[in-house]
Chain A
Amino acid sequence: MAIIDFLTQKIPLGNAVEWLVNIIISNFGGVLDSFSAFIKTLMDGLIGILSFGHPLLFIGVFALIAWLIRKDIKLTIGTVLGFLLVLNLEMWDPLIATLASIMTSVLISLVIGIPMGVLKSRSKIIDIITRPILDFMQTIPPFVYLIPALMFFGLGTVPGIVATVVFAIAPPIRLTYLGLEQVDEELKEAGRAFGSTPFQMLFKVELPAAMPSIMMGINQCIMLSLSMVVIAAMIGAGGLGKPVLRSLSTVDIGLGFEAGLGVVILAITLDRLFGRETN
C-alpha cells in the first residue's frame, strides 16, 4: 500500500523548498536586506569611480593598465579601439554598469573564496563538506541559481550579483586550496625549521608559494562572472545584458548586435588582460 502511495503520489518537494525559502525570508529578512544594501552601495561606489570624468579618460587609464600588465602594443591599441567603438555605439553606460557588477562579483567571490580555500586546506572536515557543495554549484546550470536569488533579493542588480558569485566562486576556492596543497614539502619544512608561527607559515611561505595557482583562480573567476552578464539580466540586473535581452523580446536585430558587440569587446579585453596566466 505504502509503496503504491509512494509511486503514485508526488513528493511535495517543491512545496518544501518554498516553505524553507519563506522561513529564511521571514527570519533573516533583516540580514538579507542589509546584505543587499551593502552590495548596492559597493556597486554604486564602483560605478561612481568608473564614470568619474570623461569616458575618454577612462579609456586612457584602461589602456595604460593594459600596457602595464601585458606590455603588448597591439593589445593596448585594440583595447582603445574596442572601447571607442562601444562609446560610439552609445553603449557606454551599460558597459560601465556591467564592468562594475563584474568587479563587485569578483571582489565578493575572492573575499569569500580565498579564505575558504585556506580553511579547506587547514581542515579535513571542511574539505570533505565543501567538496560536494562545490561540485554541485559547478554542475547545476546557472539559470537555476536565479530562482532562489530572485526569491531572497527580489528583482534587480543584487540577485544578479549573488547568482554570479555562486557561479564564479568555485575556482578561487578550489585553486587556492590546490595551490596550498601543492606547496613543496621542503619549502614548508624550511619555514618551520626557521621557527615560523602558523600565521607566518601561511602569509610568508604558503600563500606566496601558492600565488600562481591563486592567480589562476582569480582569472577563472573573472571569466565566469563575465559569462553571467546576460543571464543575470533576466532577473533585472542592469548593464549590457539588458539591451541584449530586450532585443530578444522585440526581435530588434540591430540593438541586439550592438549590445552583443559590447559584451564581446569587454569579454575579449578582460580575457586578454587577465584570462591567461600572467607572466
Chain B
Amino acid sequence: MAKIEVEGLSKIFGPNPEKALDLVEEGHAKDEVLEKTGQTVGVNNVDFDVDEQEIFVIMGLSGSGKSTLLRCLNRLIEPTEGTVKVDGVDITDLDSEKLRKFRREEFGMVFQNFGLFPHKTVLENTEFGLEIQGVDEETRKAAAEDALAKVGLDGWEQKHPDELSGGMQQRVGLARALAVDPEVLLMDEPFSALDPLIKREMQDNLLDLYDEMNKTIIFITHDLDEALKLGDRIAIMKDGEIVQVGTHEDILTDAENDYVRDFVKDVNRSRLLNAKDAMIKPRAMVYSEQDGPRAAMHKMRHEEISSIFVVGKHRQYQGIVKMEDVLELVNKGKDDLSEVVKEVPTASPQEDMDELFSKIANLDCPLPVVNDNNKLIGIIVKSSVLSNLSSEEVV
C-alpha cells in the first residue's frame, strides 16, 4: 500500500475560495482563476501517491506551488479541498489534538533556511521535537546525541546555530527531524541555500542515511540535477498542477509536455564533460583469477544486476558476463567463466559526451571506462549520459 495518498488536493489563497474551487474542479488553470475571481491557486487539484520508503521529489519553478503542496501534507497550510491519507488515515479529517499527535509521530520537517531556534544550542534544537512530546530529559538527550552523530555533528552539541556554517546548520535541521524518528521526512528545498560543493556532500549524506533508515522522504527542489540524483520518482509542478510524475528515465526520455521539456533542457550539461566525470564506481566485479560462475552469480544476485564486468590481475579489463550465460554454466556444472565473457565497446576517460552517447545508445549494459593500461576504472550508466545531453537529443 502507498504510504501517502493524495487525492483531489487544492489550496486556494483568498477570502472566498468557493467560486475559485468550482473553477479549479472544472479544470481551469491558475491564471484563469486569478482573472475571474481574484483568488490565487496555490495547489490545483493534485493527485499522487508516495510509496513506502521512497524518495519522492517534487520539482518546479518558483511559485509553482511546491511549498504549499508540501505543507498541505501535514496541514501547516490547511487544504481547501481534497484528501491526504497517510497509512490510510485521512489527515484532513483530524481534530487539532489528533493532528498534533500525527505531526509529532509521523512527520519530520526540514526547512530551506534551516528554521533553527537561535536561542537554543545545537543539542537543544535537536531535542526540540521530543521536548514538545514531553519526553524526559535523559531520553531525549540520548536520542538527540544519536541523531547528531548520524549527521556527523558530534562534538558540536553546545554551540549555537549562529556559530555554525550553513551546511552544518542544515545538518542540525536534519538531526532535529531525525531525532523524533518519524516515518516521513518532509524536506522543503533543504539544500538550496548551500553552495554547490556542500550541497553535493549533503545529498550524499542524505542518501547514506536513507539507505540505513527506512524512511519515506518527500523532497522539494528546483534543481533537476538534485532531483535526478535523489529521486526514486519525480513530480514536476507547474502553476499548482502536477504535470508529470515518473522515474528519472521517464522524465528525461519521455517528457510529456513542453514545460517538462524546457525543464529537462535546463539540465546542466557542462556539469559532466567527459567519461571520467560521468563514470561511477562499479558496485561489484568478477576477478577471473579466483571467481568462477558461482561467485559471479552470487555477486550479481547480491547487487541485483544482470551483468557484471570481468577483470584480471590489477583490474585488467577482460569483458562482461551476463546472468543468463552464467546460469547456464552453473547448471552444466562447468567452472570456467572465460567461454561466456563477451566483449563490449569501451570508453577512454577523455571521451566526450557525444561519443559516449553514440556508444551507449544501443548497449544493454553499462559502458566500461578503461585507461591506457587497460585497467577498468569505472562504468557509465545510461541515465547519467542521458541526463547530460541537451533536450533536443533526449526527447
Binding site for B on A (CB under 8 A): 184, 186-187, 189-197, 200, 204-205, 208-209, 211
Contacts and interface: CB of A to CB of B under 8 A. Distances in A.
Interface in B119-174: 119-120, 128-129, 131-133
Contacts of A187: 115, 117
Nearest to A185: B115
Interface stretch (B2-10, B11-19, B82-90, B103-111): B103-111
Nearest to A190: B115
Contact of B113 (A186, A192, A194, A209): A186
Contacts of B113: 184, 186
Contacts of B307: none
B124 to A, nearest CB: 10
19 contacts: A187-B117, A189-B109, A189-B115, A190-B111, A190-B116, A190-B117, A190-B128, A192-B76, A192-B103, A193-B107, A194-B109, A195-B129, A195-B132, A195-B133, A196-B100, A200-B132, A204-B131, A209-B117, A209-B119
Contacts of B76: 189, 192-193
B132 A196 contact: yes
Contact of B103 (A194, A205, A208, A211): A194
A205 B117 contact: yes
B103 A195 contact: yes
Given A186-B113, A204-B131, A204-B132, A194 B180 contact: yes
A211 B116 CA distance: 15
B170 to A, nearest CB: 12
Given A186-B113, A189-B76, A204-B131, A195 B118 contact: no
Nearest to B113: A186
Contacts of B200: none
A208 B107 CA distance: 24
Contacts of A193: 74, 76, 103, 107, 109, 186
Contacts of A209: 117-119
Contacts of A189: 71, 76, 109, 111, 115
Among A184, A192, A194, A200, the one with the most B-chain Cβ atoms within 10 Å of its Cβ is A194
B359 interface: no
Given A186-B113, A194-B132, 9 more contacts: A189-B115, A190-B115, A194-B176, A195-B100, A195-B129, A195-B132, A196-B132, A208-B117, A208-B119
Interface of B: 71, 74, 76, 100-104, 107-109, 111-120, 128-129, 131-133, 176, 180, 186
A194 B120 CA distance: 16
- Majority DSSP secondary structure for residues of B touching A: mixed
B128 A186 contact: no
B78 to A, nearest CB: 12
Contact of B115 (A184, A197, A204): A184
Contacts of A204: 128, 131-132
A67 B220 CA distance: 50
Given A204-B131, A209-B117, A209-B118, A190 B109 contact: yes
A208 B120 CA distance: 9
A184 B102 CA distance: 24
A204 B112 CA distance: 21
Nearest to B118: A209
A195 B119 contact: no
Given A186-B111, A189-B76, A189-B111, A194 B129 contact: yes
Nearest to B104: A195
Contacts of A192: 76, 103
Contacts of A197: 100
Contacts of A195: 100-104, 129, 132-133
A193 to B, nearest CB: 4
Per CB-CB distance, the 7 closest pairs between chain A and chain B, nearest first, are A195-B104, A195-B103, A186-B115, A190-B115, A193-B109, A194-B129, A195-B100
Contacts of A200: 132
Nearest to A196: B132
Contacts of A211: 119
A272 to B, nearest CB: 25
Nearest to B99: A195
Contacts of A205: 117
Contacts of B116: 190
A259 B120 CA distance: 45
Nearest to B128: A194
A189 to B, nearest CB: 6
A197 B74 CA distance: 15
Nearest to A187: B115
Nearest to A210: B119
A28 to B, nearest CB: 40
A196 B186 CA distance: 17
Contacts of B101: 195
A246 to B, nearest CB: 48
A100 to B, nearest CB: 32
B219 to A, nearest CB: 15
Contacts of B133: 195
Among B102, B109, B133, B186, the one with the most A-chain Cβ atoms within 10 Å of its Cβ is B109
A267 B104 CA distance: 50
A197 B104 CA distance: 11
A194 B104 contact: yes
A22 B348 CA distance: 100
Contacts of A194: 103-104, 108-109, 128-129, 132, 176, 180
Nearest to A208: B119
Among A184, A186, A204, A209, the one with the most B-chain Cβ atoms within 10 Å of its Cβ is A186
A204 B104 CA distance: 16
Contacts of B119: 208-209, 211
B303 to A, nearest CB: 38
Nearest to A200: B132
